[in-house]
Homo-oligomer: A and B are copies of this chain.
Amino acid sequence: MSPIIKPTLLIDVDRAKSNIRRMAAKARQNDLSFRPHFKTHQSQTIGRWFRNAGVNAITVSSVDMAEYFARDGWNDITIAMPVNLPDIDRLNHIAKQIDLHLLVDSLSAVTYLTEQLRSQAQIWIKIDVGYHRCGLLWYNSEEVIELAQKIQSAEKMDFRGILTHAGHTYHQSSVDEVLRIHTESIIRLIDLKRDILDSGISTCSISIGDTPGCSLSNNFTGVDEIRPGNFVFYDLMQLRLGTCRYQDIAVAVTCPVIGKYPNRGEIVVHCGSVHLSKESLKSSTITTYGYLVPTTPDGWSSPDSSAPIISLSQEHGTIQMTKDMMRHVAIGDLVTILPVHSCLTANLYSNYHTITGKSISKMQSMV
């Protein structure tokens, strides 16, 4: 176990495993297929923790990631982005080896796949239930049905159902708002499914995805599959939404203090945008890029006072703190920071460092 000397991504293994078990149990209780999104952790080792919790199908966000997890024995993978047509050769290659699920939301993609797919693939139509990123709008039944019929009639494609990511839950400020969007999304998908079945298509599953809705709600009537990802680690954004508790956050960044400026009430750490990502939380009074928490022998504890990162440059982070806190911090000390968005923070590292000093490797996500 070597000492930490530079910005390091810490993982609390027990918390992550407990987050996994809790979501897996909720899926079982609600009779849902659980297809977690692995873009958050991007690690074969952490993937195995899910396997041990009974998971056998996963979600990823790129062909690179599908290949990485297929190499570790995952053979049922959804690439949850509208299909990337220039990548057709790799898609054909991987579709030969595993059950590959793809997303479409356009006639042009379906036409292209009809001509170019060489192995069987499972096809989902991406639905926009109000987030307005990707997908056909939920009320455009005709367009969705036309697409579903074309998929069904294609030789190499099986129509699996409709899939959404209600990412607008992330932008809410209360549990009630998250729950309202969650319920509204499901109702919209159920209505659409009814139209699809009425058109003569025999089966249509419903898949939903966001961590806030899946964490907070206990109502999944009508839903077949959930695909949350962020919940394995959670973060300050989820904490603010009310989706998790402090003690559920499973990753943090430990970094050295390199400057101390008592007159400004600030310290500077070697921990910048390249160590945390530039994701921020805004309130009416402050924009913050992370929160300092006390380091403990077990990892870290909840913040006992106010110490936000108030600015980030490439390698520096500036943390505001009270005079009393500052008296307990020296240049050269290691401090621990909770990230605003754990997916983007974890993406910046090549491995996790457990609180007992072991290393867990992850995908080299640089491209």
Residues of A at under 8 Å CB distance from B?
3-9, 39, 61-64, 81-87, 89-90, 105-106, 108-109, 112, 132-135, 167, 256, 258-261, 264, 268, 270, 273-275, 277-280, 311, 313-316, 318, 330-332, 334, 343-344, 347-350, 364-367
Contacts and interface: CB of A to CB of B under 8 A. Distances in A.
A11 to B, nearest CB: 14
Given A108-B332, A275-B367, A367-B275, A258 B313 contact: no
A111 B75 CA distance: 58
Contacts of A366: 348-350, 364-366
B315 A259 contact: no
A106 B316 contact: no
A133 B320 CA distance: 12
Contacts of A108: 330-332
Question: What is the copy number of this chain in the assembly?
Answer: 2
Contact of A256 (B39, B85, B167): B85
B364 A364 contact: yes
10 contacts: A5-B90, A6-B367, A7-B367, A39-B315, A82-B268, A86-B334, A108-B330, A133-B311, A278-B280, A314-B344
Nearest to A137: B263
B314 A85 contact: no
A274 B40 CA distance: 12
A163 to B, nearest CB: 14
B259 A4 contact: no
